[in-house]
Amino acid sequence: MTLWIRGGHLIDPANNIDTVTDLQIHDGKITAIGHCDDESAASIDVQGLIVCPGLVDLSVSLRKQHKASVSTETRAAAAGGITSMCCLPDTSPIIDSSSAATLVQDLARQSGFCNVWPIGALTQGLAGAQLSEMGTLKEAGCIGMSNLRAPFENTRVLLRCLEYASSYDVTVFFNAVEHSLADDGCVHEGPYATRLGLKGIPESAETVALTRDLLLIEQTGVRAHFGQLSCARSVDLIANAQKRGLPVTADACIHHLLGTEADIKNFNSLNHIQPPLRTENDRQALQRGLQEGIISVICSHHQPHSKAAKMAPFAATEPGISGLDTLLPQALKLVTNNLLTLPQLIERLTIGAARAANLNTGSLGIGDIADICIFDANESWQVSAETLHSNGHNTPLMGRTLKGRVRHTLLAGRQVFPSRA
Amino acid sequence: MEPVAESPQLQLTEQGQLRHFLTVEGLSKTLLTEILDTADSFISMEQQSVKKVPLLRGKTVVNLFFEASTRTRTTFELAAKRLSADVINLDISTSATSKGETLLDTLKNLEAMSSDMFVVRHANSGAAHFIAEQVTPNIAIINAGDGRHAHPTQAMLDMLAIRRHKGDFENLSVAIVGDILHSRVARSQIHALKILGVPDIRIITPNTLRPFDIESMGVTVYNRMIEGIAGADVVITLRLQNERMQSALLPSQHEFYSLYGLSADKLKYAKPDAIVMHPGPINRGVEIDSDIADGSQSVILNQVSYGVAVRMAVMSMAMSGQTTQTNGDTEATP
């Protein structure tokens, strides 16, 4: 069947398109771009709305691999305009076997709201000791491997992981953290940590690990992506590595691009995340890195939690923010604040992420799969238990009014939001 | 820097009265002075043969200690009894409540017993704040120490000791010596000294025990004892926990004592009439020499007796604030 998306403002950074036009979809693919003369053709009228590739989110924790959680969180993604997500390996069970990798993809396909690309565990059980079966995991659909923030037994294990991964052209996703320095800290080591009496995580916990990782990447030639940079010096280190020609990309999560350590005031555990929110200087450096393309991706760093996980004194709460529902409106603040143009923002939410993870999506050229997000950049909505689609209501934005609302999400040409149940 | 913990709304009533006592940070000089004045009046009462007042008669105070303490708990118990309250002591091992849900369950159970006040000590910073947010609004929460964050009643009894021995706060130099990093006492003292107008607050510590950017709290940092103590009117030494020697923070007890232990040869650099304070319990020969602890400049034992008076002051003020607030609420919503 053929469907037209009529009258929208198409922004497709992958193809340098930024204009009001119509878009034809046939058999799940883009088949024409330009004015549609046929008034009787099946169509969605999207005048005044932005039409862009479906968002690509490189960092989503699904937590549990059972039907309920895959289904709710992928539905939340669709409601947030996200059509592709990378599922981190810290699910239960951990994605360190082909069956676990297959399970999450099967469940996602059954639910049918969002493409789910698993990232496999770099070491067995994320224990940091034994190589995972990377070859098999890749065959089973894993688009890369990561040890997340879990420690390696020693640096030799890490080196072996990178050597092995490089043999099969596997992208390694890093979260730079030196555990002996992060220790059991829970917030940025700064004046807020000092006053609140909370144990700090120094910037060096990230930069020492990042420096080591970059040297090992250079030694092994493995393709690498760094997730959720949190400090200014990390941006410099990545820029320097890119300048030297290392195959390295990086993302920042929206929380670090907008928030600072000041957000932990009053022991607000909803802002307890890893890595921690850092200083105003760090935030500005991340924003500059994003403007200059050193950071080419914005992710949600979605970590849904039950209410109980946050019902404790700060240090005893689980880190993480539920972010799928609010990624787009939060990211639009970067445009409102004149840090990025709308096409630049969309690039970092779509094709930038797709390129970093080597995914065949994020573009609306002729013949491309019709994964599409259609949103109203000016419509406001209030974050509440009723408006959130994720199972996790752990967001510091609860009760706030955000600007920018997804109106339609199409997955391979099929509308998945609003759902037509 | 604006207050980072406990917005005034949480621990004060709309009229600005105390209803919880969670931290000194963000409170007014007037309120701290009221606490000291009220405590002073209870000290004079201690001279009388009948040491009880009926301010908390019919009220139930629960001492909720998730972290072991004998002395602090005892002074709170004594304070509550002198105010004629019924007192329940609960020592809850932290292991059983390391998860927040359990802590919350404990609280809900105690709430159901119609308690009026919780005195809380907990190993996690922010625990008292968390409890104040979660319990029903008419239960007063008194923070008896939360992690590294705050120990406000200890700080106020220290302020009482300073005021009673030095008269006022306007021209003082106060030096705090030792493990600032892990000390909730030091943090609360710094806030209190600052609010009460002490112009010169000094921290004397090696950099391993110095919290990041502690200068932003308005203190001057010294690594060397003699420089830091020079001309001080008040010298406060802090307790040094033994485990600090095991986590690469300090080389040895011996070196700590030789560099930071308060002994006569160091104290002589302070003002001749300087007073020596310690929140207790003392490690003699670790952070302070026995002769100094028992000497003429020491006010350590006075601190202990002021502790009861300050806690009576804070408990009676918070309960009165709660009552006002509750009555006000009732009128507002018939």
Specify the pairing of strand B200-204 against strand A17-26: unpaired
- For residue range A247-268, what is the model confidence (pLDDT) as tens digits? 999 999 999 999 999 999 999 9
Query: For residue B246, with 0-12 CB atoms within 10 Å meaning exposed, 13-18 middle and 19 or more buried, which class applies?
Result: exposed
Residues of B with CB below 8 A from A265's CB? 4-5
Number of domains forming the structure of chain B: 2
**Residue B1 falls within a domain, yes or no?**
no
Res A380: pLDDT: 98
Q: From residue A292, give the alpha-carbon distance in Å to each of A210, A238, A252, A257, A297.
A: 20, 12, 13, 14, 12
Do B118 and B159 sit in the same domain of this protein? no
Judge whether B281 lies within some domain.
yes
Q: Which pLDDT value is given to residue A384?
A: 98
Are residues B115 and B157 located together in one domain of the fold? no
More confident residue, B221 or A69: B221
E strand map for chain B: 60-65, 86-91, 117-122, 140-146, 173-177, 200-204, 220-222, 234-237, 275-277
Task: For chain B, say whether A312 makes contact (Cβ under 8 Å).
Answer: yes
Q: Cβ contact (<8 Å) for A312 and B187?
A: no
In a domain, B40, yes or no: yes
Residue of B nearest to A196 (CA): B149
Closest CA to B319 of B78, B122, B130, B118: B118
The verdict on residue B32 lying in a domain is yes
pLDDT at B45 (0 to 100): 81
Neighbours of B109 (CB within 10 A): 10
B134 inside 8 A of chain A by CB: yes
Q: Which residues of B touch A194 (CB under 8 A)?
A: 187, 211-214, 216-217
The answer to whether position B25 is within a domain reads yes
State the residue range of the domain holding B72: 8-149+307-332
Does one domain contain both B299 and B160? yes
- Residue B216, chain A, CB below 8 Å: the answer is yes
A165 SS3 class = helix
ipTM above 0.85, yes or no: yes
From B7, B125, B212, residue closest to A266, measured CB to CB: B7
Name the minimum distance, in Å, from the CA of A201 to any CA of chain B.
11
What is the C-alpha separation between A267 and A310, in angstroms, rounded? 11
Residues B91 and B193 grouped into a single domain = no
Task: Specify whether B85 is located in the same domain as B173.
Answer: no
- Closest chain B residue to the Cα of A266, Cα to Cα: B5
CB contacts, 8 Å: B25 with chain A:
195
Chain-chain contact of A197 with B184 (C-beta, under 8 angstroms): yes
Residues whose CB falls within 8 Å of the CB of residue A292, separated by 6 or more in sequence, listed in order: A239
Distance CA B100, CA B88 (A): 22
Q: Tens-of-pLDDT digits for all 334 residues of chain B? A: 677 765 667 999 989 999 999 999 999 999 999 999 999 999 988 777 777 899 999 999 999 998 888 889 999 999 999 999 999 998 776 555 555 557 788 888 888 888 999 999 999 999 999 999 998 888 999 999 999 999 999 999 999 999 999 999 999 999 999 999 999 999 999 999 999 999 999 999 999 999 999 999 999 999 999 999 999 999 999 999 877 777 889 999 999 999 999 999 999 999 999 999 999 889 999 999 999 999 999 999 999 889 999 999 999 999 999 888 766 554 443 3
**Mean pLDDT value of segment A128-135:** 97
The dihedral region occupied by A57, where left means phi > 0, alpha psi between -120 and 50, and beta the remainder, is beta
Statement to judge: residues B200 and B237 lie in one domain: yes
A265 CB within 8 Å of a chain B CB: yes
3 state DSSP class of B250: coil
Closest partner residue to A314 (CB to CB) among B1, B126, B211 is B126
List of chain B residues whose C-beta atoms are within 8 Å of the C-beta of residue A197: 125-126, 146-150, 184, 187
Statement to judge: residues B226 and B273 lie in one domain: yes
Same structural domain, B296 and B158 = yes
Token pair of A225, please?
A: 């992506």
- B116 and B170 fall within a common domain: no
Are B221 and B246 members of one domain? yes
**Enclosing H/E stretch for B267:** helix B264-267
What are the CA-CA distances from residue A177 to residues A213, A227, A301, B170 (Å)?
Answer: 10, 11, 16, 47
pLDDT at B122: 93
> How many contacts (CB atoms, under 8 Å) link A and B?
100
Contacting A residues, span 200-259, partner chain B, CB-CB under 8 Å: 200, 202
**What is the rounded average pLDDT for all residues in chain A?**
96
One domain, residues B284 and B326 = no
Contact A129/B at CB under 8 A: no
Cβ–Cβ contact B150 with A under 8 A: yes
Whether A314 contacts chain B with CB within 8 A: yes
Domains annotated on chain A, with CATH = 53-356 (3.20.20.140)
Cβ neighbours of A342 (radius 10 Å): 17
Residue B2 lies in a domain: no
- Output the pLDDT for position B176: 98
Q: What is the pLDDT of residue B333?
A: 39
What is the predicted pLDDT for the residue at B7?
62
Region A4-13: what's the mean pLDDT? 97
**What was the pLDDT predicted at A130?**
97
Q: Do A316 and B100 touch (CB under 8 A)?
A: yes
Q: Assess if residue B133 is contained within a domain.
A: yes
Chain A CB within 8 Å of residue B248 CB = no
pLDDT the model gives residue B97? 53
Q: What is the CATH number of the domain that holds B175?
A: 3.40.50.1370
Mean pLDDT of A256-281: 97
The model's pLDDT over A10-65, given as tens digits with 9 standing for 90+, comes to 999 999 999 999 999 999 999 999 998 888 889 999 999 999 999 999 999 998 87
Better-predicted residue by pLDDT, A304 or B48: A304
- Contact between A342 and A335 (Cβ < 8 Å): yes
Q: Which two tokens stand for residue B180?
A: 């600032």
Is the confidence at residue A83, as pLDDT, over 70? Answer: yes
Residues B199 and B214 occupy one common structural domain: yes
Q: Label residue B280 left, alpha or beta by phi (over 0 means left) and psi (-120 to 50 means alpha).
A: left
SS3 state at A309? helix
In a domain, B259, yes or no: yes
